[in-house]
Amino acid sequence: MTLRGWPRSLFGRILLVLALGLALAHALTFVLAFTERSMTMRRAMVSYFASDVASSVAMLERLPATERAQWVDRLARRNYRFALAEPLDAPEDPSQLARLVANAVAATLPADRPVQVIDPHVPGTELRLQLRLADGTPLAVDMDEPRLQISPWVLGALALQLALLVGLCAWAVRAATRPLNTLADAADALGADRPTVPLAENGPREVVRAAAAFNRMQQRIQAHMQERMQILAAVSHDLQTPITRLRLRADLLDDPVLQGKLHADLAEMQSLVEEGIAYARSSQAVREPPQRVDLRALVESIARDYADAGLPVQLLHAVDVTCDTRPQALRRLLCNLVDNALKFAGAAELRLEAGAPGQWRVRVLDHGPGIPPAALSAVLQPYVRLEDSRNRGTGGTGLGLAIANELAQALGGRLVLGPRADGAQGLEARVELPGTPLLQ
Amino acid sequence: MTTPPPDHILIVDDDAGIRELAAEYLQRQGLQVSVAADGRQMREVLATQRIDLLVLDLMLPGTDGIALCRELRSPGAPPLPIIMLTARSDEADRILGLELGADDYLTKPFAARELLARIHAVLRRTRMLPPNLAVGEPARHLAFGDWRLDTTARHLLDATGAVVALSGAEYRLLRVLLDHPQRILTRDQLLQLTQGRDADVFDRSIDLLVSRVRQRLGDGARGSRYIKTVRNEGYVFCADVHAASASQEAAP
């Protein structure tokens, strides 16, 4: 189960947790400070209000009753106003603020004055304070809702602070996760068997250690593969001389039947040796420098070479395209696929087409028995043969497609085997070439 | 009437079995054969006997086949056709690429019939061309017009340096033409000279091959810049050809 919106990358996850935590801590701090400040403000406001009401009452009491009305308006403040109005018949407002205001005002007035705080149910007016002057004249004070203003710049500064913190976190998390990506890239490159490029051993201690360990592993793998190649090369080289002698001895035989049998056996031995060498060396194809190559001319020349040798290989379609690739490796790759088609189907068709945008593909098609879907990936492994349709009797060593697969990787592309796209019986081997230039 | 003396072949290989067996087979086919195990013995035979063709193993103790080939091809040395024996076909490509002067090569293990066929083909080829037609200084690149022929990788490079592949037959035809510029070559000569390693399967007409090479070069039959048809005679390569070193590759 995965959470929706939960980032897939380690970078995203760590950053999300840190950013959420920071935002939460910020919000909490802000709420605490705001509450504390509004409580203080309220206390100060109420005591000021009480003493102002007391002095206003004292002033109004000293004025003649006729002049009071005109003074009442002058006594108004920003958030409360006086009015000479009969008290409304309403219950006491039970709120904390109302009690606070009632008590404070009562304390500043002479002890016998009744003070009542009600909710007048007028929009914009929070409380109405009702009292009477010494001569019994009713006085009402309407208080606006107390508002605590927050300046926009405070919110802006808070947002900026949060953004700065999240930005620094992103930088730190990126610095921590980047070496992982570098390591993954290097491991991928190693798989494709490019000439070894050691990882830079710098940065924090943990990264240096991982890079050094990776470099040592890379060297061991390289040494191992070289050893494998040297063993194959040495065995094959040592076999060349006795096989040559055997062939020459067979040529000197007077018995043509025996001679034919010996030649067939020797040819098989030879092809095993040669394919083994070719497979061991296929990983070296990356050493061939990439060049601009006229793909159409390349595919055409391959088809003509086979046709000149009397083999039924046709180029059915070819676009005019030049791309960056390794011409020798590509030729060997395509020849392997054509040889495979000739071996199992007797004929081959070639098509050079545009693939994904900016990419090119060569398809080698045949009308042979094809390969069962379950075995498609297995036949790309070395020394894997399909027992029913492909046995040693047809000359297969089980390396042709494995070599082709290695070469496709050396070209930065891939080899895909499958049934023919046009639905006909047969195998389609598709070589997909990358559109991006290869690294030298 | 006297029959001409049989061709005298010298086989240089460090493996006694191979050289004795090959010698026996070639002798049965009517050739005169001498053998040598290394460079020293080879020089002794060459100093004392007339040799028509040398079969030289690449891997030899002491001085190896490459060094011996270079020695035999040094200026002033008498012309001697050489067939190199190599262990792998990519080694062979390297030898041809280095243009050490081997006339042909054969990868081990080889069939005796194949060796015999190569010997006959090389002898026929070297005798067909007068000595003054011998290939000049070997070069990795032969430049003509807008093109360069890479003799190692066996493909063309266009003016922008892009690789334009050639089929085996197309390469051999173009190579023969470039090796003999300004000289009319008959269809028969071209057929003989372009018969390379796959002599027995190469049976396309020279005219078709010429038209394909012209197409590759972007050259028409009329007003041709490179390969001109000479009526009733054959073809002539009419552009200037010069060896281009690798350092010149970047030049426009």
pLDDT of residue B72: 84
Burial A338-360 (b: 16+ CB within 10 A, else e): bbbbbbbbebbbbbbeebeeeeb
pLDDT band at A196 (very low <50, low <70, confident <90, very high): low
Q: Which residue has the higher pLDDT, B28 or A279?
A: B28
pLDDT of residue B95: 60
Report the predicted TM-score, pTM, of the whole model to 2 decimal places: 0.62
B62: left (phi over 0), alpha (psi -120 to 50) or beta: left
Classify residue B28 by its DSSP letter.
H
Contact B48, B74 (CB under 8 A): no
| The pair of three-digit structure tokens given for residue B74, joined into one six-digit string | 């040094």
- CB neighbours of B241 closer than 8 A, spacing ≥ 6? B142, B143, B144, B178, B181
Q: What is the spatial distance between Cα B58 and Cα A437, in angstroms, rounded to a whole number?
A: 37
pLDDT of residue B199: 46
Q: What is the spatial distance between Cα B171 and Cα B83, in angstroms, rounded to a whole number?
A: 20
Instruction: Say which of B18, B164, B202 has its CB closest to residue A297.
Output: B164
Burial degree of B145 (CB within 10 A; 0-12, 13-18, 19+) = middle
pLDDT of residue A438: 57
Helix extents (H) in chain B: 16-28, 39-48, 65-72, 89-98, 112-128, 168-179, 187-194, 206-216
Decide if A230 touches B, using CB distance below 8 A: no
Instruction: Say which of A245, A309, A322 has its CB closest to residue B21.
Output: A245
H/E run at residue B107 = strand B104-107
pLDDT band at A392 (very low <50, low <70, confident <90, very high): very low
Q: Which of A373, A405, A5, A422 is nearest to A191 (CA)?
A: A405
Identify all chain B residues contacting A247, using CB atoms and an 8 Å cutoff.
109-112
- Give the length of chain B: 252
Residue in A244, A252, A350 to test binding to B, most B beta-carbons within 10 Å: A244
Q: How many Cβ pairs within 8 Å bridge chains A and B? A: 100
Residue in B35, B91, B146, B163 to test binding to A, most A beta-carbons within 10 Å: B163
Decide if B73 touches A, using CB distance below 8 A: no
| The pair of three-digit structure tokens given for residue A374, joined into one six-digit string | 């379950």
Determine the distance from the C-alpha atom of residue A364 to the mean position of all C-alpha atoms in its chain, rounded to a whole number.
Answer: 35
**ipTM of this predicted structure:** 0.70
- Residue for token pair 């193993």: B57
pLDDT band at A295 (very low <50, low <70, confident <90, very high): very high
Chain B, 24 to 43: residues with Cβ < 8 Å from chain A are 24-25, 28
Per residue in A226-249, pLDDT (tens digit) is: 787 778 777 877 787 888 899 999
Return the number of other C-beta atoms located less than 10 Å from residue B251's C-beta: 7
Phi, psi angles (nearest 5°) of residue A85: -125, 150
| The pair of three-digit structure tokens given for residue B224, joined into one six-digit string | 């041709």
Q: What is the spatial distance between Cα B136 and Cα B189, in angstroms, rounded to a whole number?
A: 19
pLDDT of residue B131: 42
pLDDT band at A388 (very low <50, low <70, confident <90, very high): low
- CB neighbours of A232 closer than 8 A, spacing ≥ 6? A276, A277, A279, A280
Q: What is the spatial distance between Cα A97 and Cα A366, in angstroms, rounded to a whole number?
A: 92
Per residue in B6-45, pLDDT (tens digit) is: 899 999 999 999 999 999 999 999 999 999 999 999 999 9
Determine the distance from the C-alpha atom of residue B210 to the mean position of all C-alpha atoms in its chain, rounded to a whole number.
Answer: 20
pLDDT < 50 stretches in chain B: 97, 130-137, 197-203, 246-252
| The pair of three-digit structure tokens given for residue A333, joined into one six-digit string | 């790759």
State chain A's mean pLDDT as an integer: 84
Strand-pair partners of B141: B150, B244
Decide if A331 touches B, using CB distance below 8 A: yes
Strand blocks (E) in A138-243:
138-144
